[in-house]
Structure 1
Amino acid sequence: MHRLHPGQRGLTRSIVPVFVAVALVVAALILFDRNTGSNRAALPTVPPAPSFTATTETEGAMAELDLVPDGTTAARVEAAQAAAGVETLLAIRVIDGFGAPLAGASVRVNLNEQVDSELAPPAAGRGAVEKDLIVGSDGLVLVEVPPDQRLLVSAKGPEGAYYRPNQSTWLTLSPGETREVELVVERPSGTFHGLVVDAVNGQPLAGVSIRPVPPRRRGSATGPAVAASGDADAGVTRSDSAGRFTFDLAKFGDGSATATTAERVPVRFRVDEDGLDPERPLLIRMQLAATLVGTIRGLDEPATITATCAAHHLRVRGEANNNGGDLVWQAPVDAVDGSFELAGLLPEKPLQIELRAGREVLQRTPQDLVLKPGERRELNWSVESGATVRVTAVDGTGVPQSGVLVHLYPGSASWQVELAPRQADPLDSGSTDASGVVEFHGVQPGRWCVAPKSLPGIADESAIAPQLTRVDVDPGDSEVEARVVVHRGEWIAGRAVDHEGEPIGGFTVIASKIGGEAGAHFSVAKQDGTFRIGPLLPGLWRVQAWRQISSGFTAPPDPLDLPTGTTDALLQFRVGAQLSAILVDPITGEQLAGDLWLEAGPLDFRHGNAQRSQPTGFGGLVPGTYQLSGIADDGRLGVVRGLQSRAGETLETIEVPVAPGGEVRVHYEGPQETAVVYIEQDGVSFTFDSVRSGTNKLLAAPLGQVTVRFSRYLGGLDESGEPRRLVHEETVQVREGEVAEAVLLVEDD
């Protein structure tokens, strides 16, 4: 019997490695309807809150100064050199914004390259490389450093006070050199202005409590539990009848703060220079919260009910609630009657609901719940009931397979099982017996999926392809049968070269099954250009290389259709083109921040972040015709059509003028978790994003008649090599100041 517990599940929210994250973006954006995690929805008219690391040359910038050491500094340098025979010395002075020594600040010197010999331990009068050093009353720290090495010197303010983010600079010292550098670490100043409104109708909200997040809490998990736990009423300010509030940055500091009020979802937001203009306060939209209530039967131990909204569902450009991690709510289950109430839940976002006893997961919803604003939904569970799912593992000829590890996943994880099986989070696991059978007990009604998986350390020739089988458990079911087919040792291998035949590596290899439902597989080529991808289902696969670079002429090769078992595939990169682009205000000529999208078709779609200070580059472009669209941070849109790129050519600084646009509210309901929605006009995709079933999403759109295209990916490629998908299109009229509506309701499976 297999009980649901985290020991077999790994981390609840594992961190996806960089190559898998890139691969997922590729699969979604390029191959399968270009489903992106970025949201190009319409944005508020105030600028988005920037990250903690934003600085300017006049505020918080640091400079390497050729200062003449004062008497104190010179004496300390001489003493240190005499005591330890130091030949290459770095004197680091940390000052505040007024030029005074910043006692208690910390300094660190890091090496950009690994040195062969070990660093000397610290001696009297000096510190050590790769160690945190505390600045004394004179603001000075002395460090012996290896010569001819690139060094990163950084400083941050004293603990327990509000200072701007770490300040740093790069430098290299010659043998025997003594150099002094000065780092400025400032405290924030000015009056911060904010505006709190209802997320739906935009009406101001009065009486909202605004609390700064103390320095000790920065870097901790964000969410309602953190936001609601604030420190009594000390330092709290509240919004007035017009929804506005102000506070002194010198008192609150820049970093983050929370907005809380009854029956609303708490919001954590960034606090920095973007709120200093009283005419452009930071806009904070607060939603009506949802509530989950119910009863748990059969409990014999203390338990809690939890709801988790994954971080990737929260990333909305331009919104104030810029959270750094998953949102987690929890409430105790009453020990007497088993009742619970989980309040303050985020509506219109997928929530994973779990019943936990300590660290052990007793139950989990097979599909994420999506609640409406203000909704109060009932959920009842019994830990003693549920169906038995009996899974039989067989090979391609139907012979039962013993000793096969089988995972049980929630239905909501099906996309991850197909696209990133190593990162999917199973609810339960078990190995098949001599008859090829494994059973999972206590499985609640809903859609689940099972898949075989290779044991750790197994040889390639025995590795199992992660083929997904969906299992539906209906209310009242006591037993459900399922079968998984085990395919072992199917791989495709080869190498890649550039246009001159030299090995090229470091790119992502993507394999997509032709003529069948199967997820894509990904691998990263070695530096010598060789790659190996699998284990795969037997058959024909389309193999292609992908990478996105901001400059350069090396473009991806043509894709190859290859059978499993191929060992000598050759991917040859070709000479491409490159271009740079900016978003501009057509009246003032001002360069704008936002997003740029370069489109040549479903197999070449690039994204870049437009900046105010420099052009955005796109390199490695396959020669051809491109459409370049953009959306500024204030929601204005623009497009340049028909850009011709030729091999070896550079198109310099293409200007994309923007104009006011409108908005389309899209709604999707269907059996699949997500649909990809495109907003198109005259053959150009201006906006696209994924929409979860049961939710709405507000997307920016150009004015006039636009096509709203809903696309659901079905897995794999059809016989002609195109992604298998169902498409529904709707035409709407977009007018300035209005919100157009588009709805897709799907009842089939």
Structure 2
Amino acid sequence: MFILALGWSLKTPMGREVAPRVETVEITPEDESALSAEPDLLTPTGPETREERLPVAEAAATPETPTPMVPVAVVFNGRVLSDTDGHPVAEIVVEVAGRRPGGTGQAEIAADDDGTFIVRHAPPAGLPLAVRAPGYAPVLFLSDAVHDAPERAAEIRLGPAATLTARVVDALGTGMAGVQVRLSAEALDLRFSSDLLDLPYDFDAPEWSAETDLHGTAVLVDLPPAVMLTAELSRDGETLLRATEPLTLTPGRREIVWSIGTGTLVTGRVRTEAGTAVAGVEVWRLNAGADMAMVFRPDMGTSVAAKARTDEDGVFAMPDVAEGAWRIGLAPSAEYASVAEYLKVERSAVVTEVDLAAHAHLTIAGKVVGPEGQPVANARIVANQAGTLIYLTADISNSDGSFALGPAVPGAYEIGAGTGRGDLRSSENIIVQAGDQDVILAMRQGGAIRGRVVDALTREPTPAAIVCSAAGGGREFKGFQRILSHSVEFELGGLKLTDYYVVAHTADGRIGVGRSEARPLSEGRELLEVRVEPGAKLVIRSTGELGGSYQVWWGETIIAMNGLEAGGRIELTTPPGEVWVHWRPRGMREYITERRIHVSAGERREVPFDGE
């Protein structure tokens, strides 16, 4: 999806360098229910006037050219403690987990048996690091220039891990040896600290694996509790099973048995609308998820449970399909598109059939233009069939503003374009039909906010993740725009000409809030200076059986929102002062619990919710 991914493979050393990603993401209020199960969202908003100034930030005239900084080695000191009793953790392993934009993925690391460690690396700060230890769930964090001496060591807490004992048996109940049991998670589900959630890094998805012994048993250790894990079983390169439902573990041990060879044979045929068989196309099977129509996209490839290819008569077969709800459809291609069919496989079923309709050469094409009719290049176009999960996207329009989306399935689409930068706002969404070739998407006049982040005390330039949302409206979520990078200077573009709150969130737990009006860049306005200072820590826990979603507000600025699984926890930073935490149990549309908390800089406060 759309944000950064935090994660790593525990099967291999974590020093693999990865390419950084920096992107701007624009979210609307209609997306909030979907986002509540996604990673932490920093979202400022509020009604104060532009002349007012918040205590941790202000607008100030600042030179647009940042002061050069002399590169020096970054030294980071840490101390690892048990989250259960606060005692030091021995046998820790500290590893590099990615690469900071503008820096390398290399570091000198020294760890002692008393849980202390030192990391040295070339600037800039913000190098992703991971800590793990036997019996504990792993934790990801960032280096910084604040904890530069043992007396100022960062305190990193590890919680107890889960252990899974898996037994794999065949249709006769006999244990199967040599089966690779692999557990994986969406990287964003490993949200051990929200301070890490707005970083522009690509990481390996977190993964744990073990091979079954002669009795068909495999033991996977040091797993993270309260995280949805996907199980996949394979042998000799062949996928035997991909679980339809995720596993969510609690600290301690759990046992599970998977049976292979007891599933249903699913067969089907792929035809065009004219009834002609389509040979040689690939068919995918995925966990059904939501019961909504969808077309498979390339980014779904890592979630495919099984693949098949049609023969000369357009026929395909998928053996040993487990009980559960599935989606079966054509793999993404440049030639055909199909709506993935929803299929419910019952335990007693022996053979199930499904037919797929392949739609060829159906596209939506047109041009993106500006307010004066000028062509707009490099705009992103998105089309969606209302009430479905059928999306068509084009990452950029051409130099003449032209675009083409497809192949598409028949129907009406809501389509729009945006850039998220400069003076042009996104276009109004319009309704078109698959096959339309003269679509015009007109961008609107907008503005931007340019600024820089500095330390409130020293005025030193400070890298931070930046988020903004329109001011006004009280504690009501109105959508936001975020820059997923830790930069000293920033530009938020494609905005409506109105006031916005801007939140700066640093890797070491400092936070600042400022306010500015979005104006055309041609006006050459002064930079907004956002001053960051140490914040307070909130640890939100879901102690009930269902889990839910939360929002954290500081005044009328939303600082964070997220979803938590049952038993899950999230640690996040908020400015000092009055904080409101809203809670919505899973399955409910409204936030039904509100807690008002006063926090001081450096304070760490736990906020449990039982899901009621």
Q: TM-score with structure 1 length normalisation?
A: 0.59
2:88 maps to 205
Confirm whether residue 408 of structure 1 aligns to residue 279 of structure 2: no
Counterpart AA for 2:232: E
Residues 532, 21 of structure 1: alpha-carbon distance in 2 compared, 3 angstrom cutoff: farther
1:653 maps to 527
CA distance in 2, matches of 1:656, 1:572: 33
| 1:666 and 1:741 in contact (8 A); partners too | yes
Residues 260, 32 of structure 1: alpha-carbon distance in 2 compared, 3 angstrom cutoff: closer
CA distance in 2, matches of 1:422, 1:655: 38
Deviation at 1:675? Answer: 7.8
| 2:129 and 2:142 in contact (8 A); partners too | yes
Aligned-pair Cα RMSD in Å? 4.8
Deviation at 1:379? Answer: 1.7
1:607 maps to 483
User: Secondary structure in 1 aligned to 2:467?
Assistant: strand
Deviation at 1:616? Answer: 1.9
2:205 maps to 326
| Structure 2, unpaired ranges of 5+ | 1-18, 44-67, 100-108, 471-476
2:552 maps to 679
CA distance in 2, matches of 1:640, 1:272: 23
| 1:493 and 1:533 in contact (8 A); partners too | yes
Confirm whether residue 365 of structure 1 aligns to residue 228 of structure 2: no
Deviation at 1:615? Answer: 3.2
CA distance in 1, matches of 2:355, 2:582: 39
CA distance in 2, matches of 1:275, 1:529: 49
CA distance in 2, matches of 1:189, 1:681: 32
In the alignment, which of 541, 563, 567 is matched to residue 433 of structure 2? 563
Confirm whether residue 621 of structure 1 aligns to residue 499 of structure 2: no
| 1:40 and 1:699 in contact (8 A); partners too | no
- Residue deviations 1:116-158, cap 9 Å, x none? xxxxxxxxxxxxxxxxxxxxxxxxxxxxxxxxxxxxxxxxxxx
Residues 74-473 of structure 1 aligned to structure 2 (within 5 Å): 193-198=77-82, 200-201=83-84, 203-210=86-93, 237-240=111-114, 243-245=115-117, 259-265=131-137, 275-298=147-170, 302-314=178-190, 318=195, 324-335=203-214, 337-372=215-250, 374-391=251-268, 403=279, 405-411=282-288, 420-421=297-298, 423-425=300-302, 426-431=304-309, 438-453=316-331, 456=333, 458=335, 463-465=336-338, 467-473=339-345
In the alignment, which of 391, 401, 414 is matched to residue 529 of structure 1? 401
User: Secondary structure in 2 aligned to 1:652?
Assistant: coil
| 1:367 and 1:412 in contact (8 A); partners too | no
Residues 194, 413 of structure 1: alpha-carbon distance in 2 compared, 3 angstrom cutoff: farther
- Residue deviations 1:27-79, cap 9 Å, x none? 8678633849764589xxxxxxxxxxxxx95446xxxxxxxxxxxxxxxxxxx
Counterpart AA for 2:605: E
Give the structure with the higher percent helix: 1
Counterpart AA for 2:596: Q
Confirm whether residue 501 of structure 1 aligns to residue 501 of structure 2: no
1:110 maps to none
| 1:386 and 1:441 in contact (8 A); partners too | yes
CA distance in 2, matches of 1:667, 1:392: 46
1:663 maps to 538
User: Secondary structure in 2 aligned to 1:32?
Assistant: helix
Residues 205, 307 of structure 1: alpha-carbon distance in 2 compared, 3 angstrom cutoff: same
CA distance in 2, matches of 1:712, 1:535: 36
User: Secondary structure in 2 aligned to 1:542?
Assistant: strand
Deviation at 1:492? Answer: 1.6
Deviation at 1:380? Answer: 0.8
CA distance in 2, matches of 1:675, 1:488: 42
- Residue deviations 1:380-425, cap 9 Å, x none? 112221233455667789x796656431013469999758345423
CA distance in 2, matches of 1:248, 1:395: 61
| 2:162 and 2:253 in contact (8 A); partners too | yes
Confirm whether residue 539 of structure 1 aligns to residue 408 of structure 2: no
| 1:577 and 1:650 in contact (8 A); partners too | no
Deviation at 1:508? Answer: 0.8
User: Secondary structure in 2 aligned to 1:738?
Assistant: strand
Residues 577, 270 of structure 1: alpha-carbon distance in 2 compared, 3 angstrom cutoff: closer
CA distance in 1, matches of 2:556, 2:276: 51
| 1:640 and 1:656 in contact (8 A); partners too | yes
User: Secondary structure in 2 aligned to 1:203?
Assistant: coil
User: Secondary structure in 1 aligned to 2:407?
Assistant: coil
- Residue deviations 1:181-206, cap 9 Å, x none? xxxxxxx697x6320022x4571324
2:63 maps to none
Using the TM superposition, name which of 728-737 and 474-483 deviates more. Answer: 474-483
User: Secondary structure in 2 aligned to 1:511?
Assistant: strand
Counterpart AA for 1:194: G
2:64 maps to none
Counterpart AA for 2:217: S
1:513 maps to 385
User: Secondary structure in 2 aligned to 1:679?
Assistant: strand
User: Secondary structure in 2 aligned to 1:697?
Assistant: strand
CA distance in 2, matches of 1:513, 1:668: 38
Residues 610, 417 of structure 1: alpha-carbon distance in 2 compared, 3 angstrom cutoff: same
| Structure 1, unpaired ranges of 5+ | 1-17, 43-55, 61-187, 220-234, 714-724
- Residue deviations 1:630-681, cap 9 Å, x none? 434454555446746469545532244567455262649999xx98754346
The structure with higher relative contact order (CA 8 Å, sep 6+) is 2
Larger Rg: 1
Using the TM superposition, name which of 732-741 and 657-666 deviates more. Answer: 657-666
User: Secondary structure in 2 aligned to 1:517?
Assistant: coil
The number of residues matched between the two structures is 534
| 2:165 and 2:217 in contact (8 A); partners too | yes
